[in-house]
Structure 1
Amino acid sequence: MTPVTILTGFLGSGKTTLLKRILTEAHGMKIAVIENEFGEENIDNEILVQDRAEQIVQMSNGCICCTIRGDLVQALSDLISQRDAGKLAFDRVVIETTGLANPGPVAQTFFIDDEIADRYRLDAVITLVDAKYGQQQLDDHEVVQRQVGFADRLFLTKGDLVSADDMADLKHRIGHMNPRAPQQVVDFGQADLKDIFDIHGFNLNDKLDIDPDFLAAGEHGHDHDHDHGHDHGDCDHDHGQCSHDHGDDHGHAHHDDAIKSFVFRSERAFDPAKLEDFLGSILQVYGERLLRYKGVLSMRGIDRRVVFQGVHQMMGSDVGTRWQAGETPNSKMVFIGVELPKDIILQGLERCLV
């Protein structure tokens, strides 16, 4: 299947600069780019040859662009049809969203439409964040928070325009919004292609990437207001609104962001039937507010890891590697969403444990 990368970020975050670098570098790949604001997102026209009838733009290095005037599914289908007919050649797709777009519906396209799901594989969502204006944009625009929450990788741009302290504050803030996405400072579009392509952010695997500092922040031995009868290796609450200090929060402003993340951990196994019922009910009620969620689980009666992840109401799971001798089976789950009922979800998960 053809891998697809979604490139998102607010207006002025540097998407076009990064895309121009991708399209003009001599990397030997044939990349099809779908843009929904080609006329406004001004890629250097001197390197383009546009067939206006087809709305296809041929790059000098063999890459192509097409502009979206309507439905994304139709644009993807048209690309496949033209490739099958020998009119186009490409081996991966980059979708650049408008700066005001929520990437969620774009990502859902690859799960909902059978034809698209059979021919394309969503690889990753790459989100660009403007280091100079990012804090203000996160305050003013929930779509920016959604862009951060959906990301498999976060590129911080314009780092040369901010102080080290301001950059640290921004990293801290978005790290608590989305702890599973690695952060990287990228200036003038100078990102390594290996950090953009073949991320496998939507592949099920045994590895749950969570910022280790995020997990460590909850391991200071403080008491909870309630006793669940067992220990989580994590404090399982939103660090952005802690009523007490963690050692890593000194000097950082706290923000009441709509997009937050929280982690559930336990060394007790899940009852598979109970967990399936509970997750099904959560997705039915809160699915639109769940941006991304992922976990590696210990299940009763299964000697292997069970891996799951999802976007909104669509969730997939698979069986991973065996638990090794001397290894304590455990579960780790991260949820990223809009004003999620954290306590309801955490307490419900606890009731699903054996």
Structure 2
Amino acid sequence: MAQIKHAHYGKVDIDYVLGIGGFDLDRIEAEVQIEGSTKEHDNHHHDHKHDDHKHIHGHKHGHIHDSGVSSVSIVCDGDLDLDEINEWMGKLMNEQSEDIYRMKGVLSVDGFDERYVFQGVHSIVDGSVGKPWGAEKRTNKIVFIGKNLDEQALRKGFMSCLL
């Protein structure tokens, strides 16, 4: 439940309103790690169709079903070419940013000892170098949520950036 903040003539500390950590890349990395660890295969695709739910009908839904909304997860080993991944992501944002509601990932980029952690909403993408890989296996994990996502095209484009 949302916390109620009392205000006097609309005066509220701006950090209270905006300090939600929406672009906290450490939190994003943790979320991607959790999502990736629950997957035992290298892809995951959800179609949010009404027929896919396994539940008894006769109750009210608290959400709207949109058969065009799906998620695509790609988990793979290997290092990415920095120029290739930048070019592919730029092209993807130019062509499909309106349909990509959310994306996040942890990437293994060639030449970097640290993981690259990023997240995006539509055409707004933010990322930074995260903690070092150390002895951990360098595994790329990326998730897209959006409308009319072409899983094969996303997979092919991403994989083409691997060395």
- What is the number of residues matched between the two proteins? 152
Distance 1:214 1:267 in 2: 12
Identity across matched positions, percent: 31
Contact 2:97-2:122 within 8 A present in 1 as well:
yes
Instruction: Name the structure, 1 or 2, with higher relative contact order (CA <8 Å, separation 6+).
Output: 2
Q: Shift in Å at residue 348 of structure 1?
A: 0.4
Cα RMSD for the two superposed structures? 3.0
Q: Is 1:331–2:140 an aligned residue pair?
A: yes
Q: Is the 8 A contact 1:237 1:262 kept in 2?
A: yes
CA contact (8 A) 2:103 2:142 kept: yes
Structure 1 segments unaligned to the other structure (5+ residues): 1-17, 24-60, 67-87, 95-121, 124-197, 220-232, 242-248
Q: After TM superposition, where is structure 1 displaced by more than 6 Å over at least 4 residues in a row?
A: none
Match of 1:207 among 22, 29, 41: 29
Map 1:1-354 onto structure 2 (within 5 A): 18=1, 21-23=3-5, 61=6, 63-64=7-8, 66=10, 88=11, 90-94=13-17, 122-123=18-19, 198=20, 200-205=21-26, 207-210=29-32, 216=38, 219=40, 233-238=41-46, 240=48, 251-252=54-55, 257-325=67-135, 327-354=136-163
Residues 51-90 of structure 1: per-residue CA shift (max 9 Å, x gap): xxxxxxxxxx5x2464xxxxxxxxxxxxxxxxxxxxx562
* Inter-CA distance 285–303: structure 2 relative to 1 (3 Å threshold): same
Map Cα deviations across residues 243-282 of structure 1 (whole Å, 9 max, x no partner): xxxxxx89459x7632211111111111110000000000
Could you tell me the TM-score, scaled by structure 1's length?
A: 0.38
Aligned counterparts of 1:22 and 1:266: Cα–Cα separation in 2: 43
Q: Aligned AA for 1:22?
A: I
DSSP-derived class of the 1:347 partner: helix
User: How many angstroms does 1:234 deviate by?
Assistant: 2.5
Answer whether contact 1:208 1:295 (CA < 8 A) is retained. Answer: no
More strand by proportion, 1 or 2? 2
- Cα separation, partners in 2 of 1:311 and 1:89, compared to 1, 3 Å: closer
CA shift digits 1:120-158 (9 cap, x unpaired)? xx55xxxxxxxxxxxxxxxxxxxxxxxxxxxxxxxxxxx
| CA distance in structure 2 between the partners assigned to 1:237 and 1:89 by the alignment | 41
User: Take 1:349 and 1:265, find their aligned partners in 2: how far apart are those partners?
Assistant: 10
Gaps of 5+ in 2: 57-64
Q: 1:213 to 1:89 in 2, by over 3 A?
A: closer
Question: What is the DSSP-based 3-state SS (H/G/I as helix, E as strand, rest coil) of the residue aligned with 1:333?
Answer: strand
Larger-gyration structure (1/2): 1
Cα pair 1:303 1:323 within 8 Å, conserved: yes
TM-score (norm 2): 0.77
State the shift of 1:240 in Å: 4.8
